[in-house]
Chains A and B, each alone.
Chain A
Amino acid sequence: MKGQWEVVIGLEIHTQLATVSKIFSGAATAYGAAPNTQACLVDLGYPGTLPVLNREVVRMAAMFGLAVNATIAPRSVFARKNYFYPDLPKGYQISQYELPIVAGGELFIAGDDGAQKRIGITRAHLEEDAGKSIHEGFDRQSGIDLNRAGTPLLEIVSEPDLRSAREAVAYMRKIHSIVRYLGISDGNMQEGSFRCDANVSVRPRGQEKLGTRAELKNLNSFRFVERAINFEIERQIDVLEDGGEVVQETRLYDADRDETRSMRSKEEANDYRYFPDPDLLPVEIDAAWVEELRSALPELPDAKRERFVAQYELKPDDAEILTASRALADYYEAAVSAGSGAPQAVGNWVIGDLTGALNRDGLDIAESKVAAEQLAGLVDRIADNTISGKIAKEVFDAMWAGEGSADEIIAARGLKQITDTSAIEAIVDKVIAANPGQVAEYQAGKDKLIGFFVGQVMKETQGKANPGVVNQMLKAKLAG
């Protein structure tokens, strides 16, 4: 039954721009300050105060527009969105409505069918964030923290081109990656710097007309986006299959219960009475300046991934992972260029042990305890057979613990691989002599026992014998 429904999703992503001060005032934007310590008179909406645009947000929005191949409006206009709420000091939010700064962009994701899929970006507009209402701990009253009021946001609105929760997440990840590549947002989802609302509807497959949508509010992790959308799809299909009708409404995702529930219906929706803000002039953008920005754009995730595949001959999936963030890609490239050239091996280490250690310790790549040069040194010692892959893990852990470079650790711990064949031969002979029973079985055709012999030899050498040499020698002698 489910197969006859087509899912249609559009996302509105709110990304906080990484400016030092707020969009319309000089107050700081740093996260985590004591309540109401980062709100100046303008943020508090004091009588007589006026907004003054922070030009840096215009640059950031334009950079985003260029990165998604959109048009940067030569003239955009700030508008007031009017509604009452205690954490909205002026009784209106300054946003953009009819003339946003960015219009008509696109990006590409891997679609559900595996092929590249174009997702249209309707628009991206600048606006100020509201403050926060705190409902616990005030004895039936609510507290208001206005530190966040006036924080710059770029709201990025997609076309309804997404067809599953998976595609929605892939799109959101791509936007996340782009804004961080551009350095215009820290993308920190726990702190609310990157969050989204999802418009979800379903329609019978083949039907042109869109179904009635529900808007899911304030989804602040990739996992929640996926779960909330999937829940909502199921809910809407159930309603329709029971002969009901989906109601246009705003729904809130409850992560604890893993469900969405109605917040307000279309009838209860505010009439925001948008009109151009008379306190602010239209934002005029010069075409030459846009070209200057374009030439200063960093290499973006898609281009970098393709280059990694071409230049380092990486597997496409690995290239995708390594280019997910600019910092990770930079680390990878630094490690490759510091070593003597084993790009796939370096990639495996970055994706494997390094990422594992970072996740385990909750660290960001910038905080890695193993520098790119150190990792390069380790990969080089594997490549030149100084150590085995197994010993390398021990060396990596030691590097992570701050014991120095791979060479220093190998020397200090005496981990250098034994490549002297006569030394290995003596141990091989000893192992064969000590295990006549297994020798007989092996020679009777139980090939798998080769592993047992290799293990014995490695045990004797504390893992330092070159496993390739050991293997070859054992096979030759046992066949003898």
Chain B
Amino acid sequence: MTALHEMTLSGLKAGLDAGEFTSVEIVSALLGRIESLDPQLNAFITVLGEAALADAARADEARARGDAGPLCGLPIVHKDIFCMRDVRTTCGSRMLENFVSPYDATVVERLAGAGAVVLGKTNMDEFAMGSSNETSWFGPVKNPWDPACSPGGSSGGSAAAVAARLAPAATATDTGGSIRQPAALTGTVGIKPTYGRVSRYGMIAFASSLDQAGVITRTAEDSARLLGVMAGFDERDSTSIDHPVPDYVGELDVALDGLRIGIVRQHFDAGLDASCAQAVRDALAELEKRGAVLTEVDLPNLDYCVPTYYVVAPAECSSNLSRFDGVRFGYRAKDPEDLLDLYCRSRGEGFGAEVKRRIMTGTYVLSAGYYDAYYLQAQKVRQLISEDFRRAFADVDLIAGPTTPTPAFRLGDKTDDPITMYLNDIYTIGANLAGLPALSAPCGMVDGLPVGLHLVGPHWSEGRLLAATHQYQQDTAWHEAAPEAFR
């Protein structure tokens, strides 16, 4: 029999349904792996040992009673950005190092309601601000494919945990590529749904108009399974949208015949590593073999994605993070002299350098005299970028390209150069600015490191993205590759 940690969520579900093993056995096995292997990775901030075992036992009882929800007894991990009742929720920051949430995020609540068992909370860039997991107060996460490399960020812990077979599935969030870029760099599948598809309630905000929750798994099928539970309207989030949730798993078998896939010429410009480009072209050829039709599309404002993002996201974050003031929760500086000192030192000591950089940038672009030139201008460009996608999707069903310009980079390589770091998200940011669903799936290896294929669809096309990936995964085995040390 395949070892439990090698199995996908769907495989585990089938085994549980067939009575081949119990949830307690799965959870014990994975907790054992986490204990022995995570020290090499630092993918977890909090491991929920006893609580997970107790949940697994309850899930087994529920299953015995014939009361099994769709994810009953299946192990998952949560990015530490999701508030989980009575569990420490740090957001990767010293500011929330000892913050125990008094409530559950909607995502946490829905997955628990479906029977999922949470093994722990994963490491992340501080407040999801970063593309390498190096901004975490809890230290960087290492890439299971090469511990000298970054797993990407901000959902680096979730991606590394899934890639290293410490958990079959993880929740994650994506503001500019934080699900897809780490998925690409770790050889996993990561989907960021349409803005409004999954509730943001209880997900600690970075940039509210861009943040969206999603998942990282090894297969499209597993992503479909989780997303079906997480998605749907939530009255506690005014930006969640009351749009029917399709049966993502049921729609995976839709054939690719006639699927029109758009290729963006600029994606293959000088910035893209040649080997990565080849891997992506090979993947496109595979899709073509399955019946997809490739055509070229133009996204004329693509170059403005990164600068636009780095005005909008910091602006929103500068305001979203004002609540961390040392007054009601989170880090408070010792012995403040007065109110100003309390504010300055609590925030100065509680936040890391990247978070401060973005708060300052955001404060600047919203300031009197600069608002029109930066924030307002960025909003206009954002409209143009959305318009580019809208026009492109008049001719094609999906847009495909590389997820990142290069495979995983070495830890420390880009920490002194924020602009280079920011450019790592050049292909992913557009989907956030336009609110579109997008997915990264493994499509090759370059020098022993995974390469990601990026798919973007029109609003509400998650099912199409997952089905195309599922079809691709029927003919290819990139998603089955596991890093040597974590097989």
A→B interface (CB under 8 Å): 41, 44-53, 80, 82, 84, 86, 89-92, 144, 271, 273-275, 278-281
Contacts and interface: CB of A to CB of B under 8 A. Distances in A.
B236 A275 contact: no
A50 B236 contact: yes
Contact of A80 (B319, B330, B363): B319
B96 interface: yes
Contacts of B339: 86
Contacts, number: 99
Contacts of A48: 82-83, 101, 103, 105, 200-205
B238 A275 contact: no
A271 B238 contact: no
B329 interface: yes
A227 to B, nearest CB: 31
B89 interface: yes
Interface of B: 82-83, 89, 91, 96, 99, 101-103, 105, 200-205, 207-209, 235-239, 315-316, 318-319, 321-325, 327-330, 339, 343, 363, 366-368, 371, 375
Contact of A275 (B102, B203, B375): B375
A121 to B, nearest CB: 26
Contacts of B323: 45, 47, 89-91
Contacts of A271: 367-368
A301 B92 CA distance: 58
A53 B363 contact: no
Contacts of B321: 91
Contacts of A50: 200-201, 236-239
Contacts of A41: 102-103
Contacts of B315: 275
Contacts of A91: 319, 321-323, 325
B208 A278 contact: yes
B364 to A, nearest CB: 10
Contacts of B371: 273, 275
A48 B204 CA distance: 4
Contacts of A46: 83, 101-103, 329
A131 to B, nearest CB: 10
Contacts of B82: 48
B366 A51 contact: no
A2 B21 CA distance: 94
Contact of B89 (A47, A80, A281): A47
Contact of B83 (A45, A47, A280): A47
Contacts of A45: 323, 328
A86 B237 CA distance: 25
Contacts of A144: 327
B248 to A, nearest CB: 25
5 contacts: A46-B102, A47-B89, A48-B101, A91-B322, A279-B239
A89 B330 CA distance: 13
A80 to B, nearest CB: 5
Given A52-B235, A280-B238, 9 more contacts: A44-B328, A48-B83, A48-B203, A80-B319, A82-B319, A86-B327, A274-B366, A278-B209, A279-B208
Nearest to A53: B238
A281 B357 CA distance: 28
With most chain B CB atoms within 10 A of its CB, the pick from A46, A274, A281 is A46
Most B CB atoms within 10 A — which of A48, A51, A84, A273?
A48
A470 B487 CA distance: 118
Nearest to A272: B368
Contacts of A84: 322, 325, 343
A310 to B, nearest CB: 48
Contacts of A80: 319
A58 to B, nearest CB: 13
Given A47-B91, A48-B203, A273 B322 contact: no
Contacts of A89: 323, 327-328
A86 B103 CA distance: 23
Contacts of B329: 46-47
A3 to B, nearest CB: 39
Contacts of A51: 238
Contacts of B204: 47-48
A82 B235 contact: no
A47 B102 CA distance: 10
Max count, chain A CB within 10 A of own CB: residue among B99, B319, B324? B319
Nearest to A82: B319
B155 to A, nearest CB: 16
A100 to B, nearest CB: 18
Contacts of A278: 207-209, 239, 316
A67 B329 CA distance: 43
A66 to B, nearest CB: 25
A47 B208 contact: no
Contacts of B328: 44-45, 89
Contacts of B363: 273
Contacts of A279: 205, 208, 238-239
A280 B209 CA distance: 10
Given A41-B103, A86-B339, A275 B325 contact: no
Nearest to B327: A86
B198 to A, nearest CB: 13
A46 B83 CA distance: 10
Contact of A281 (B105, B205, B207, B238): B238
A275 B236 CA distance: 22
B322 A47 contact: no
A52 B343 CA distance: 28
A51 B209 CA distance: 14
Nearest to B91: A47
Nearest to B99: A47
A166 B83 CA distance: 54
A82 B368 CA distance: 12
A80 B317 CA distance: 12
Contacts of A53: 238
A52 B199 CA distance: 13
B438 to A, nearest CB: 20
Contacts of A49: 201-202
Contacts of A280: 238-239
Nearest to A42: B236
B239 to A, nearest CB: 7
A51 B325 CA distance: 19
A84 B338 CA distance: 14
A57 to B, nearest CB: 14
Contacts of B327: 86, 89, 144
Nearest to A87: B327
Nearest to B375: A275
Contact of A52 (B105, B238, B325, B375): B238
B319 A92 contact: yes
Nearest to A280: B238
Contacts of A281: 238-239
Nearest to B234: A50
A86 B200 CA distance: 26
A273 B366 contact: yes
B319 A273 contact: yes
Nearest to A81: B319
A49 B329 CA distance: 14
Contacts of B239: 50, 278-281
Q: Which among B322, B363, B371 has the greatest number of chain A C-beta atoms within 10 A? A: B322
Nearest to B321: A91
A46 B99 CA distance: 11
A393 B324 CA distance: 65
B34 to A, nearest CB: 25
A274 B376 CA distance: 12
B453 to A, nearest CB: 30
